Amino acid sequence: MRKTRATYRFKIDQVSTIKNQLLSFYSADKYLMLLDSNHGGTGHDTYHTLLAVGCIDSLSCSYVDAFCKLEQFHKEYQDWIFGYLGYDLKNDLEHLESANPDGIQFPDLYFYVPELIFELSDDYLYIHSYHASEIDSKKLLDRIQAHRVKQAKTVFEPSRLIAKDTKTSYLEKAQEFLSHIYRGDIYEANFCTEFYAENVSLDTLKAFKELNEISEPPFAVYARLNSYHVMSASPERYLKKIGDQLISQPIKGTAKRSLDIVEDEFLKSELFNDPKERSENVMIVDLVRNDLSRIAAKGSVEVKELYGIYSFKQVHQMISTVTATIKQGLSFIDVLKATFPMGSMTGAPKISAMNIIENNESFKRGLYSGAIGYIKPDGDFDFNVVIRSILYNQDNKYLSFGVGSAITAAAQPEKEYQECLLKAKAMIEVLNHQGISFD
């Protein structure tokens, strides 16, 4: 007989304190995922802070029949599962391939059933567990709160961060994307490049905490899936499902912040009124609307917000919100298959853009520009977009992060390159503190 997970609620005083205690208490666990909203948002409800630890069972696989395997895995357990969808699952959905170099070597899909789920909401901690009683859960919480948070004392060996594409190479490839646009093959594409380091020894929890502190995004993730580590400061939601309702919040449009209040407001206003940024944003909104219409009840797809400007510690972002009602009889897998990969990381038309991306980019995207999140027992889910994220393979000591920008007919390669460096700024800063320098 399948076990039923019980939920126990406890009053707490300091969310940040218990969060750090939890991360420290489970610092040696090979399976841990923190989903942190940082009390922020993008105009719509974000997931509460969730921490899933321990592993009852896991699923990791290549893209071949990956969505079918995920569906069966969820059906088998009918439980919360946490994990990720790699960008290259596109090959399971369309006649596409991924032949570019893969230094990070993450599986294309990875999910696990956690032993314990901690949910932080306002002044309460919820523990979703298989413990026999509330008393058992209270004893566990007492041990966690009595735990002294460990201070990182790791000594790092100096490493060098390398740009996979030189500036010259990036500009040439951006021009190639423009050539495809001028020929009418596509009208927008998300062109990405990789920064990487080899033979890296990294305290990934320390790196995540620093990245999260300087960014405070609404869809932050710290994950350890055995040897695969993720430190994500993502500001973007891919898709959320609540019952038969869907929310997608694509980002297109980025501007730097300024410490000067007047200049910062000017940069924000300039982003909102920029014709190129608006064009990029509305193209992706149309693509998301088209994807959602494949699985939505007739007439239910709506643009709730267009060109919304949201400010984060590092950048201003232009974010739009699209909602839909799912057709009767469709499962969460049907929804994911109809909408993945997210349009903000591909371009339009979607399949043509993905083919051109594959032929011009210098690395296999893997988890970068995929999605991380959870699926509940009833099939409800919430996933971010894996951007502004550092990936680390503990086995081969390879570290990687990708950055990209949208290429449209109005794009200027030099400006797109500078946008990539702006998006990389926080990650480079964190890695510099970890002994990984970039020249």
CA–chain centroid gap for 187, Å, is: 25
Average pLDDT across the chain, whole number: 92
Can you give the C-alpha Rg of the chain in angstroms? 21
Question: How do residues 196-211 score in pLDDT, each as one tens digit?
Answer: 999 999 999 999 999 9
Q: Is 209 a catalytic residue?
A: no
Cβ-contact 116, 128 below 8 angstroms: yes
Predicted confidence at residue 1, as pLDDT, reads 42
Predicted confidence at residue 219, as pLDDT, reads 94
CA–chain centroid gap for 432, Å, is: 22
Query: What is the C-alpha separation between 177 and 411, in angstroms, rounded?
Result: 10
Predicted confidence at residue 155, as pLDDT, reads 52
Query: What is the C-alpha separation between 47 and 69, in angstroms, rounded?
Result: 25
Cβ-contact 227, 204 below 8 angstroms: no
Q: What angle do CA 315, 319, 320 make, to 5 degrees?
A: 175
- CA proximity to 225, closest of 112, 56, 117, 57: 112
- CA proximity to 389, closest of 275, 265, 279, 233: 233
Predicted confidence at residue 110, as pLDDT, reads 98
Q: Is 263 a catalytic residue?
A: no
Neighbours of 425 (CB within 10 A): 15
Neighbours of 4 (CB within 10 A): 9
The token duo for 43 is 């105009």
Predicted confidence at residue 413, as pLDDT, reads 96
Predicted confidence at residue 159, as pLDDT, reads 85
Ranges under pLDDT 70 in the chain? 1-3, 40-47, 132, 152-157, 439
Answer left, alpha or beta for residue 347, where phi above 0 means left and psi between -120 and 50 means alpha.
Answer: left
pTM score, whole prediction: 0.94
- Candidates 252, 350, 364, 423; catalytic one: 252
- Candidates 71, 236, 277, 416; catalytic one: 236
Q: Virtual CA dihedral for 124, 125, 130, 135, nearest 10 degrees?
A: -70
